[in-house]
Amino acid sequence: MREQDSDDQPGGRRRRLATDEYVAGVLSGDRALLARAITLIESNAPAHFDQAQEIVQALLPYRGRAVRVGITGTPGAGKSTFIETLGTLLTGAGHRLAVAAVDPSSTVTGGSVLGDKTRMTRLATDPRAFVRPSPSGGTLGGVTRKTRETILLFEAAGYDIVVVETMGVGQGETVVREMVDFFLLLLIAGGGDELQGIKKGVIELADAIVVNKADGANRQAADLARAEYEQALHYLRPATAGWQTRAFTASALTGEGVREVWRVVETFLDRTRQSGGLEERRRRQERQWVRQLVRDRLEEVFLGHPEVARLLPGLETAVERGEIPAVTAARRLLDAFGSLT
């Protein structure tokens, strides 16, 4: 039985929907209900977890229907502008695009800081696009579960392309690499050695590198940077078997080169589908998802153990002061946990 909506409820309070209402709303492409379902999934409240998982379970048959693209890059590389330019191009061609922007979280509220809807104004008002800034919750495990499940909801809602934008500041790249089909590294030309400050490990994750802001007076520097990255890529193992990672230039501001970047993505998808590599990648990602969720839960249980919680601050301080080695501290914590379980 349907309850009153928030507009009709006394005091304007939003009622809690039934699981089948969320599911029906997502499958029908109802943007408001999709947003509410994602909010429920992102919630850390124990009271919301069971219903969130019921929604995910009901929508599982609709997973895997979208092309999943991860985009990361150095600060100032123009990720949001690039995504908006690319997204507008794709929606104009008839695609439905969803953007999951993994944001740093406020240390006070836990909410999204970057506010992608203010940075992607065209996409935010595009009826064929859906932009969702999602707080990471301060943990990579939060990114793993919430973003994966958000992708599932996007696919169930009929979005055929999903872009996951990362912060571009560390381990998040590895996490996102394991939930997308194609991973794009966005960089800009700078002074001196173009490889300086770029971790080799991040480059090795990329299926393509794009030197953005290749326009105006910066075009020549961008071309030189592209050539340097291209040379470096010959010495690195490709991120995807049977695919040679290449470097390109583009300008998100003018749109030049952006269409060509998408053609690279399409070529990649064609090849990996034919070879079976795409299917295998997705199967591996599903297996890793299970293991990551187990690790996250084990860590949560471990750190929530009363004796571990009591000992942890003192042992960490002792390690910081050089009084005991980290291995000893870890052993004492594990012993304390094991003795009372």
pTM here?
0.84
Neighbours of 169 (CB within 10 A): 11
| Residue spans in the chain of domains classed CATH 1.20.5.170 | 15-58
State the CATH class of domain 63-274: alpha beta
Position 200 scores a pLDDT of 67
Task: Determine phi and psi for 195, rounding to 5 degrees.
Answer: -85, -10
Residue type, 147: T
| Residue spans in the chain of domains classed CATH 3.40.50.300 | 63-274
pLDDT in tens, the chain (341 residues): 223 333 345 455 677 899 999 999 999 999 999 999 999 998 888 889 899 999 999 999 999 899 999 999 877 889 999 999 999 999 999 999 999 987 544 333 344 434 445 578 889 899 999 998 765 555 544 455 688 999 999 999 999 999 999 866 555 678 888 899 999 999 998 744 445 455 667 888 999 999 999 999 999 999 999 999 999 898 888 899 999 999 999 999 999 999 999 999 999 999 999 999 999 999 999 998 888 889 888 998 999 999 999 999 999 999 999 999 999 999 999 999 987 55
Residue 97 CA to residue 123 CA, distance in Å, equals 9
Position 16 scores a pLDDT of 81
N residues, the chain: 341
Position 113 scores a pLDDT of 39
Position 236 scores a pLDDT of 87
Position 44 scores a pLDDT of 80
State the CATH class of domain 15-58: mainly alpha
Residue 135 CA to residue 218 CA, distance in Å, equals 34
DSSP type of residue 169 = S
Task: Determine phi and psi for 311, rounding to 5 degrees.
Answer: -85, -30
Helix, strand or coil for residue 134?
strand
* H-state helical runs in 69-207: 79-92, 116-119, 121-124, 140-156, 172-177, 200-205
Q: How would you classify the pairing of strands 208-212 and 246-249?
A: parallel
